[in-house]
Chains A and B, each alone.
Chain A
Amino acid sequence: ETGVTQTPRHLVMGMTNKKSLKCEQHLGHNAMYWYKQSAKKPLELMFVYNFKEQTENNSVPSRFSPECPNSSHLFLHLHTLQPEDSALYLCASSQDRGQSSPLHFGNGTRLTVT
């Protein structure tokens, strides 16, 4: 069982909706990540938080808004999304942002934008 829990597992939303994805890690890690996984594309890093501070934002559109209230929780707030935003959104954590820290992924949220 994964030490990183994501909810919901599936989400269908219209382009005018506002929703949030939640991620919680029980591993005592200090770094948390949001990745987007689309068909036939490599995993795309969206945001990185290290000790609750955002350290990376990989040119993600402003309709995606992350929030990290503490080292164990990470949210991704969604609003006015586009159909091309439909994908699997994976949360991950690692001990830190150091070079030898493997990523532990959650089960993901399968998002469909209609």
Chain B
Amino acid sequence: GQQVMQIPQYQHVQEGEDFTTYCNSSTTLSNIQWYKQRPGGHPVFLIQLVKSGEVKKQKRLTFQFGEAKKNSSLHITATQTTDVGTYFCAGRSTGNQFYFGTGTSLTVIP
């Protein structure tokens, strides 16, 4: 069945280092969304990507949707302690089913 996998599962970085999480789907997606969940909090919507090869930026965050619309990445430049949390991708299939990835938990060491 449909699966959306994320790697890595955990990432520890020194403050100021960059961070990337990757999201891979077994099937083609119509769009992909990214969410951030702070420790003890709830997922908060960050962005949606729709077009093949699309790249969007939010300050230090860069989101990319693959050409085949089966993978996506989130890159954070020069991490800060406020970036701590779990980042989830969520892919919507062409059948309008919505699948969350397994998440990447980011720890930033001051």
Residues of chain A whose beta carbon lies under 8 Å from any beta carbon of chain B: 2, 41-43, 45, 90, 97, 99-100, 102-108
Within 8 A of A (CB), among B52-110: 88, 90, 92, 96, 98-103
A-B interface contact total, Cβ < 8 Å: 39
A33 to B5 Cα, complex, angstroms: 22
Tell me which residues across on chain B come within 8 A of A45, comparing CB atoms: 98
Interface size range of chain B in the complex: 20 to 34
Interface pairs A-B: 6 shortest CB-CB:
A102-B45, A43-B100, A105-B42, A42-B100, A42-B102, A105-B43
B50 contacts A97, CB within 8 Å? no
Residues of B within 8 A of A (CB): 4, 30-31, 33, 35, 41-45, 48, 50, 88, 90, 92, 96, 98-103
- On whether the beta carbons of B42 and A108 are closer than 8 Å, the reply is yes
Q: Which of chain B's residues has its CB closest to A56's CB?
A: B97
A2-B48 CB under 8 A given contacts A42-B103, A45-B98, A99-B96:
no
Inter-chain contact A97/B43, CB cutoff 8 Å: no
Interface pair A107/B31, CB less than 8 Å apart:
no
B42 x A107 contact (CB < 8 A):
yes
Chain B residues lying within 8 Å of A90, measured Cβ to Cβ, are 42-43
A43→B100 CA distance, assembly (Å): 6
Once bound together, how far apart are the Cα atoms of A97 and B102, in whole Å? Answer: 22
A16 → chain B closest CB, angstroms:
30
Name the CB-closest residue of B to A103.
Answer: B45
